[in-house]
Structure 1
Amino acid sequence: MRKQHLRRHLRRQRRLLSPRQRRLAARRCTVKTLALPGLRRARRVGVYLHHGAELATTALIAALRQRGVEVYVPVPRAEGRMLWVALTSRTRLAHGRYGIRAPRQNKPRIPLNRLQWLVVPLVGVDTQLNRLGAGGGYYDRLRDNPQHLPRWLGWAYAQQCVDQLPCEPWDRPLDALITDRRPRWPTG
């Protein structure tokens, strides 16, 4: 119940941002993300396609592709899993599950363990980099298989940061967090 209340509250905070504030935040986060040393060397990155008031990833995706990085986006499947499909200049998008844009074709795709970084959406995040997702469990299920996983980079507005979130035994903190105010790593 506490998670549902937090989700409602944090989504409301996100929606209260003006379109201008959202654009500036996305621009700041893109610049900070591109400066991350580990991401500068990445060749394959998974990035969510934003939906609603989520922090927009359009500029980040364009900048990564301009650098020659292969960008893959999630395609939710009925069984609660996701495929990672290449996003190219020829990829056609359509509104899929939950109204989220996704590639019309499920090819070419890549296994999760071939991605080096994964830019993940979130509703909230705490000081220990614990992530509160939308509640569908899609991203949580990605961590079911502990073999090589990409580094997880949370993307958020500063308003989505809280002191502490309720955590479940399967929750694993993000590897890094980028907000429009400042980056965060588990070590501070």
Structure 2
Amino acid sequence: MSEELGNQKRALRAELRERRQNMTSTENAAATAGITRHLIDLATDLSARSISAYLSTPTEPDTRPFLNWANDNGVRTLLPISREDGLLDWTTGDGETEMEGLFGMPEAVGELLGPIAINDVDLILVPAAAVGKDGLRMGWGRGYYDKMLGSMEKCPPVYAILYDAELLDAVPREKHDQPVDGAVTPNGIVQFT
């Protein structure tokens, strides 16, 4: 990665992180309600019976109301467990129990399934710092999701979950960065492909 590109990404991530930290609880609650509604629509439209998602951190759009809906409606949900080697294991968890994983990320507690468990899902939901209008996703810099998406032979639809202001005209691109098929924001579902 060129040093200039790395600096651009770092500056953009810092700006986005600060914007998220400055959101009010009212703004967060409204965003969560919108995102939850659109995630339910997306999963329903795709007739998804099995999905992969993630447990959000306090500054990310809250995925838990959607995960509760999925659990209540018999949608099998895989949640990531970060590994030291940069790969993701998966678990179905019980929908309630959480622990702190690598890098302080919330992780579900359950039977550990290997990295290939994700190959069977109908929909993949990923976190993002920002997404460009061309569908290019910029994560938070650890590369777990780029690695996972880049290694999948037959990838189901992939949607990033983010706030409306994080849909940008463009994001800095490196060759390992993976695009997404769409984004789910408080205001709706955006398709890129």
- Tell me whether the two structures share a fold, i.e. TM-score over 0.5: yes
2:181 pairs with one of 175, 180, 183: 175
Q: Which residue of 2 is the match for residue 99 of structure 1?
A: 104
Q: Which residue of 1 is the match for residue 124 of structure 2?
A: 118
Closer/same/farther in 2, CA of residues 63 and 104 from structure 1, 3 Å limit: closer
| Aligned counterparts, 1:21-32, within 5 A | 21-32=27-38
* Alignment partners' CA distance in 1, 2:11 and 2:110: 36
Which one-letter code corresponds to 1:182 in the other structure?
G
Q: Matched residues, percent identical?
A: 24
Closer/same/farther in 2, CA of residues 179 and 94 from structure 1, 3 Å limit: same
Answer yes or no: is 1:44 the counterpart of 2:60: no
The offset of 1:67, in angstroms, is 1.3
* Alignment partners' CA distance in 2, 1:154 and 1:21: 19
CA deviation vs aligned residue, 1:137-187 (integer Å, no higher than 9, x gap): 000110232312232111111121211111122323211111112221115
1:83 pairs with one of 79, 82, 89: 89
Which one-letter code corresponds to 2:174 in the other structure?
E
Structure 2 portions without partners, runs of 5+: 1-6
Closer/same/farther in 2, CA of residues 146 and 46 from structure 1, 3 Å limit: closer
The offset of 1:95, in angstroms, is 0.8
The offset of 1:37, in angstroms, is 6.3
Which one-letter code corresponds to 1:94 in the other structure?
M
Which one-letter code corresponds to 1:102 in the other structure?
E
Structure 1 portions without partners, runs of 5+: none
* Alignment partners' CA distance in 2, 1:32 and 1:138: 25
Q: Which residue of 1 is the match for residue 70 of structure 2?
A: 64
Answer yes or no: is 1:165 the counterpart of 2:157: no
Q: Which has the higher helix share?
A: 2
Question: 2:55, 2:63 within 8 Å by CA — same for their partners in 1?
Answer: yes
Give the TM-score of the pair, scaled to structure 1. Answer: 0.91
Give the TM-score of the pair, scaled to structure 2. Answer: 0.89
Answer yes or no: is 1:143 the counterpart of 2:126: no
SS of 2:29's equivalent in the other structure is helix
1:152 pairs with one of 151, 155, 158: 158
Answer yes or no: is 1:13 the counterpart of 2:19: yes
Q: Alignment length, in residue pairs? A: 186
